[in-house]
Amino acid sequence: MLKKTSFLLLLSLGFLTVRAQQTIPFRITKDNTIILKTRVNKKDSLDLMFQIAMKDAAISPERKRKADHIVFNKDETSDDNTVETGALSLQNIRFTDNQLAGREADGKIGTVLFEKKAFKIDYDNNQFVIYDQLPDLKGYQPVTVLYDQDAFYIAADNVIDGKKQQEAYFVLQSGYSGGILYSNDFSEEKELDKKLKITGEKTLKNSAGKSLVTKQGILPFFKLESFVFKNVPVGFFSGELKTQNVSYFGTDMLRRFVWIFDADRKTAYIKPSKYFSEPYYKIN
């Protein structure tokens, strides 16, 4: 009887350990960005955009809601704030002032939500799930991740001209509503303006008269692990101003998968979401 009781106790504890998790609901805007309803310092109700490419939080100068209880110093930073979202309560959160966020957002918050935890971005059910340990990964494919300076990098293959695959590294960027945006170095080296079908172009000039040309093109094939996308709209820059130092894997691509990241930030696990075959987002 003692052995049976001990076995049942161990089984119960094991089950509780696997199930130990928290969920945070979110909503998705028409621009594919994730919005969290938060309460900051128990006073300010703010809609914060989730930005996977940053750790801490920030307030937008274009916010619609007041953030009177976040006190910034002369360097436009504020420490020791509390943030509540869903059932999660966080302490000692740093905010930076005057950082632009997506439409419908009063600011943004990053992966401080999941500090030292495994987490899921569940686009099927509009929620984050935070785990004490990895859940069942059946049906998921592993993707090697490089985590550097609060950003996640993944490698993917690009078929630009013919059948040759060109590997590139992309930063996961949930603040960019489009799908793929190439760095200046990649677009120049691969001559994207000559090899891709160009579908749009805009020219902007700064006060010094230097031009920044944004172009939209069609990439024949984009491959992430075993997942292949055809005729993908991509963006890149040309002109005198060289401002895009890294390539982006934006929200239009992010939403096509359910993502689970391990606590060590070395591996992501992906499977198709309900948005996998949705039409591509059009950049205005």
- For residue 18, pLDDT over 50 is answered with no
Q: Is 169 left (phi over 0), alpha (psi -120 to 50) or beta?
A: beta
Same topology, domains 19-131 and 141-272? Answer is: yes
Ordered by start, the domain boundaries in the chain are 19-131, 141-272
Q: Between the CA of residue 190 and those of 77, 94, 153, 195, 203, what are the distances in Å?
A: 40, 40, 20, 8, 21
- Of all residues in the chain, the percent with pLDDT exceeding 90 is 81
- State whether residue 161 is helix, strand or coil: coil
State how far the Cα of 232 lies from the Cα of 18, in Å rounded to an integer.
38
The whole-number pLDDT of residue 16 equals 43
Q: Is residue 102 pLDDT above 90, yes or no? A: no
User: How confident is residue 8, by pLDDT bands cut at 50, 70 and 90?
Assistant: very low
19-131 maps to CATH 2.40.70.10: yes
Average pLDDT, stretch 202-211?
Answer: 70
Q: Is the pLDDT of residue 112 over 60?
A: yes
Q: Has residue 223 got a pLDDT over 70? A: yes
Residue 237 near residue 184, CB atoms below 8 Å: yes
- Write down the pLDDT at residue 213: 84
Among candidates 36, 19, 18, which has minimal Cα distance to 27?
36
Q: Which of 13-22, 137-146, 153-162, 204-213 has the lowest mean pLDDT?
A: 13-22
Are 126 and 28 a contacting pair, CB within 8 Å? yes
Average per-residue pLDDT for the chain: 90
Q: Say if residue 45's pLDDT is above 70.
A: yes
What is the C-alpha to C-alpha distance for residues 238 and 246, in angstroms, rounded to an integer?
A: 14
Q: What is the pLDDT of residues 51-88, one digit of tens each?
A: 999 999 999 999 999 999 999 999 999 999 999 999 99
* Residue 10, pLDDT score: 46
The architecture (CATH level 2) of 141-272 comes to: Beta Barrel (2.40)
Residues 185, 189, 192, 195, Cα dihedral to 10° = -170
